[in-house]
Amino acid sequence: MAGGSKLPTVALVYIWVVAVGAVLLTFAYLLNPGAGWPSPSCSPAELVAAGILFAFAGFFAELFPVQIPSTRMFDNNKDNISLSSPAYIASLLLYGPALTVVVAGVSVLAAELWNRKGILKAAFNSGQYVLTVGISGLFLLRTGTNPHSFASFVSSPQGMLTLALTLAAYLLVNTSLVAGILAMLKGSSILDQWKQDSWEIIAPYFGMLNVGTIAAILWTVSPLALVLLPVPLLVLRVAFKATAQLKEETLRALIGIAEMVDSRDSYAYRHSVNVARYATQMATKLGLPLREVEMINLSALLHDIGKIGTPDEVLHKPAALTDDERAVMQLHPAEGAKVLRYFSLFRPGADLVLYHQEHFDGSGYPKGLAGEQIPLGARIIHVADAYQAMTSDRVYRKGMEPTKVVGLLIADAGKQFDPRIVTALVETLADSGVPLDSGLLRKGVSATSPMREE
């Protein structure tokens, strides 16, 4: 984010809106320090000492974030999650938003500049934490007790409800602001980006905020009691890493199995990778949400995973299959779906694998579904699978030219294939520079496809 000239204009505007909004909110709080927090019994010396302590805690937490594998599928980058929020939550609960917006802004800005992350990144990250603290702090100021005291605050049912709303607001504002800038950079919707990046870390993130609440409670007993905090923080660190690593390791294991399937047949080598590429391009062309595109990508990559149990004499037969052999081959979608359902992270893709051989007119397998009964992702994978199979060499035939294959797909649109998805494939190929016969595309082809059940 340091190279401002490389950022889309909408992203630059978003960054400065966040930064300016944070400054305005900070001044609003500082100009109204008597909004009920902290208690008048709190001395200026205590406020200064607490502010310095929490600012240093936030600063060091920002310097040493937890680095975890990306939660985004097929993304080899690393995500950084800061554990500074417990310090901000503790400060917020004990001394209110007026002090804490300053604590959060100063600690994050100092850490970003210390790490030389660039002015734009520093402005956005410090601004989004100030907005997070300031907006969630509004819930505390609505408790109806003035002056506030954290000890009495947590002893009433109303106070506990307000506490829960404050933590929920902190989580939602923080993750939404981050999703916003990522959406601006990637051209996706904020909701899709939030679902992609935040949904799976909500539980450990909320746990992190609860550690901040525990820190506030320990502080009311004795500030020295904070020496007990490293243990829950360590547990949080492990939880964050375990969540992402589970997904990454499961994904890599499944991809390894898919590669084993492809490697059994030299003619089909990288078949699944190419099907996934076409399916992803078509899903993107159709304007599907990012999270759905990624699930289609993954499911296409794994669509033939059920062939791991298909006998070699059927899989490699250089001639037409018998009825019995075809029945064996047609087991692979159900077997692949059965494998995926063992992995909770990828169960949504199981149906796409199960139904990727269904035909639009209901003549496919394993259930004979038709039209919109077939999941959209499965219909996309079916077209991608057919195109890739027909353009590739097989042991029983040579691959065909792309323009002829497209003609066959058009001829079968509305029968075997969803017409809308065939159109998306044609547009995708045209965008990629694949030479297509415009006359052939206009009139279609009536020839029978030499495809075998794949």
Q: Can you give the C-alpha Rg of the chain in angstroms?
A: 28
Higher pLDDT, 402 or 135: 135
pTM above 0.75, yes or no: no
DSSP SS3 for 413? strand
DSSP code of residue 321: P
The CATH class of 264-443 is mainly alpha
Q: What is the pLDDT of residues 324-350, one digit of tens each?
A: 888 888 888 999 899 888 877 777 889
CA distances from 286 to 160, 293, 297, 421 (A): 46, 10, 14, 8
For 290-300, the pLDDT digits (tens) are: 778 888 998 99
Rounded CA gap, 311 and 362, in Å?
27
Domain boundaries, the chain: 4-245, 264-443
Helix (H) or strand (E) holding 66: strand 66-69
Strand, coil or helix: what is 78? Answer: strand
Does the pLDDT at position 445 exceed 50? no
- Half-sphere CA count of 175, side-chain side, radius 13 A: 22
Contact 250, 345 (CB under 8 A): yes
The answer to whether the beta carbons of residues 182 and 11 sit under 8 Å apart is no
Residue type, 371: G
Judged by average pLDDT, the poorest of 59-63, 132-136, 322-326, 435-439 is 435-439
pLDDT in tens, 74-126: 444 556 677 889 999 999 988 888 899 999 999 999 999 898 888 888 999 99
Residues 306/339, Cβ–Cβ less than 8 Å: yes
Q: For residue 19, is pLDDT > 70? A: yes
Give the pLDDT of residue 68: 57
